[in-house]
Structure 1
Amino acid sequence: MKDGMNILARATLEEVRSFHAKMMAAASISTDERLERIFELVPREIFCGPGPWRIMGYNLSYLETPSADPIHLYQNVVVALDAAKGINNGEPFLHAGWIGAAAPKAGDTICHIGAGTGYYTALLSKLVLPNGSVYAFEIDENLVRRARKNLEPFESVSVTHGDATAMPLPAADLIYVNAGVVAPPASWLNALKPGGRMIFPWQPVEGIGLAMLVTRADSTFTVRPLMSARFIPCIGASDNGQCTRAPNILEAQAIRSVWLTGDQKPDETAVAIFPDLWFSTADLSRNS
């Protein structure tokens, strides 16, 4: 007590990080008991560069943190990695929800497209232990250099510099895409193993940004729309001139499957059509 007032002790960085991890685990809506501990173990500040940091406000402009204290990073905020290019370390709660929905498991092979400086790559790498691996892809050379350095302590992670839309991917249990795509390349769908998942921000036309979870069952692909999500466009997969039939938001939310055009031509259930694939309202789960 001092002058009749309680002196409240400031929370330590470890306490704040621990509580942030608890909130991320809650945002995941997952029963995976590993998540909270893994979210706590990976320090976000390592991947955001030296502070002070530029944090995105609600009007999409950046605000600088008042100091280089990492405690400022443990909130649900977007942090600039390259503000001039609009490249950020994304919202932790959104990614927690994606990770919960995509459910990475021990032993999985993951392709992380648009890895940035590697923060979410690092979380994924922890979730595939033991015996799993993460192949990270990043097109920005500066970010690749930073990611490789940041990810050195993490097991079974490789970082490839290049356009993931134009190179073959390894056979994957999960493809985790951190760049907005008009349509995922057919090669990404073909890279999924049976039971494999792909989660990506679908931005087929202006005004629609929707996280989509694709799951492969033999030669068919089910789709589950998730939450709203908008990312910087994916180079090589962001030409909306490729869309010959565009959905409205209600149609986008009603999508339940995606088809490779080479396997089946678009039918009356098609709500979004592209040269190599099309999205449908047909619910394949009802036929299983």
Structure 2
Amino acid sequence: MSNDNLPDHRARLAEAMEQRGAWPEDSPWLREAFAALPRDRFAPDRLWRWDGWAYVPVDRASDQGGWEAELYSDINAAAVTQLGAGGLPSSSLSAPSVVADMLDSLRLEPGHRVWDIGTGQGWTAALSAWRAGPGLVVSTELDDGLAAFACERLVDAGINAEVLVGDGTREGVPGGGRVDRLHATYAVEAVPWSWVEAVRPGGRIVCPWGRLGYLALTVADDGTCAHGWVHGLAQFMGDRQGPAQASSGPAAHSVVRAGSEPDVRRVLDRDPAGLEDWDLRFALRVAVPDAVLYADHRQDGLAVLIHDGDHSWAEVRPDADGRPVLWQGGPRRIGDEVMIAWAQWERLGRPNLYDYGVTVTPDSQWAWQGNPDSGPRWPIGHLHPATQ
């Protein structure tokens, strides 16, 4: 098989990262690490492409060009590397821009001991080891097949990092002790306290949080809590051992609705197009964490589909006169909860996602906006919106 085009793809990726301001200014080492450890060295020979109906294989042996294009399609695009139950992605090589931003948020320095959780194909473990140094990165992977693949690729790349099979969410640091940095590659709805205990005072935790966004937390000097700000917006696969994350899209909404008729119908005084604002979407994720939203652009106008992954659903769509109408059904008024949270976001001055943060203690954790001590709070783990 020919690899003649891979250098061109790598160069175009680096140039696109430059043009779109995706190389972090405070971590110039990432450019060198990406060049030394390109993501194609950690990609399996089969990737998966969404064709509009299902994921279809893209095999390197039979379609080298398609494989390369899938791997280097965009700096903000992940490459799906494995499918799980129901033909849905269960592992991927994360988007290059997201990988760079998360590792920048980690504030990684030479000599740091790093726990990388969710090894996948081993790319982030390799990049972390390139920066921290040989023998200082230990990575945990639940899937023994992925762990074996990552070990092989790390060895081939000349990287000295350890990969172990285990449950990083529920088990402690392999080998014991504390690490300077913890980096997770899958989303958790609540940050495990065991992660805070695993990091030394003053150390950093960078992890995806729920359906949207990732956090950068600093462990307090006395080790009694960790808190920090939201650092970016992206969608991640969830903890495989945790509660299943509800799927988005018309099909998932139809499953929850199950053909039921709406119990409530009311005309809205706001444009549903506002729900496509990602700052608002993040605020809704904070206030109504189990609400799944999908914007469905139809011939008769925008419809926003909402559900809770259980039995409650809502739709915002135009009526015959073109007015936006909220329909909802099920035991919860999930649509009303979303509208209340939308109004609260507006009262707060329409903050962007970077105005939010999270505090974690042994007994509780909460999201906050503006100020960790005096700003409005939303308890994490509760399914109904808090009041300001």
TM-score normalized by the length of structure 1: 0.75
Equivalences for residues 111-122 of structure 1 within 5 A:
111-122=115-126
- CA distance in structure 2 between the aligned counterparts of 1:265 and 1:63, rounded to whole angstroms: 41
Distance 1:24 1:154 in 2: 25
User: Does structure 1 conserve the Cα–Cα contact (< 8 Å) formed by 2:365 and 2:380?
Assistant: no
2:139 paired with 1:136: yes
Alignment of 1:14-25 (within 5 A): 14-24=7-17
The residue number in structure 2 matching 1:67 is 63
1:260 maps to which residue?
361
Work out the CA distance in 2 between the residues paired with 1:264 and 1:50: 41
Letter in 2 for 1:123: L
Q: In structure 1, what is the Cα distance between the partners aligned to 2:366 and 2:64?
A: 55
- Once residues 42 and 197 of structure 1 are traced to their aligned partners in structure 2, the CA distance between those partners, rounded to angstroms, is 24
Structure 1 residue 61 displacement after superposition: 4.7
Aligned CA-pair RMSD: 3.4
Tell whether 2:94 aligns with 1:90.
yes
Instruction: Note if 1:36 corresponds to 2:36.
Output: no
Quote the Cα distance in structure 2 between the aligned partners of 1:195 and 1:57: 45
Alpha-carbon distance change, 63 to 110 in structure 1, aligned in 2, over 3 angstroms: same
Q: 1:250-271, CA deviations, whole angstroms, 9 ceiling, x for partnerless residues?
A: 5994543413145999999641
* 1:54 equivalent in structure 2: 48
Task: Please state how far the C-alpha of 1:42 moved relative to its aligned partner.
Answer: 0.8
Change (3 A) 1:28 1:196: farther
Greater CA radius of gyration, 1 or 2?
2
Instruction: Say whether the 8 Å CA contact 2:193–2:362 is kept in structure 1.
Output: no
Structure 1 window deviating more from structure 2 (118-127 vs 64-73): it is: 64-73
Residue in 2 aligned with 1:180?
A: 187
Aligned residues: 255
2:14 is paired with a residue of what secondary structure? Answer: helix
2:63 counterpart letter in structure 1: S
Unaligned stretches of 5+ residues in structure 2: 246-285, 290-344, 346-350, 368-372
1:33-71 Cα shifts (integer Å, max 9, x gaps): 2221111111322211225x3345788855747821464
CA contact (8 A) 1:108 1:128 kept: yes
**Structure 1 residues 188 and 252 mapped into 2: Cα distance closer, same or farther (>3 Å)?**
farther
> What corresponds to 2:235 in structure 1?
230
Identity of aligned residues (%): 21
Indicate if the aligned counterparts of 1:56 and 1:79 stay in contact, CA closer than 8 A. Answer: no
* Separation (CA, whole Å) in 2 of partners of 1:158 and 1:74: 27
In structure 1, runs of 5+ residues without a counterpart are 1-10, 241-245, 281-288
The answer to whether structure 1 residue 247 and structure 2 residue 287 are counterparts is yes
Task: Answer yes or no: is the 8 Å Cα contact 1:210–1:226 preserved in 2.
Answer: yes
> 1:126 is paired with a residue of what secondary structure?
helix
Name the CA distance, whole Å, in 2 between partners of 1:228 and 1:104: 20
- Distance in structure 2 (CA, Å) of the matches to 1:217 and 1:50: 43
TM-score by length of 2: 0.57
Counterpart-to-counterpart distance in 2, 1:43 and 1:273: 37
Letter in 2 for 1:227: G
User: Are residues 237 and 213 of structure 1, via their aligned partners in 2, closer, same or farther at CA, if it must alter by over 3 Å?
Assistant: farther
Going from structure 1 to structure 2, the CA distance change for 1:135 and 1:210 (only over 3 Å counts) comes to: same
Match of 2:149 in 1: 146
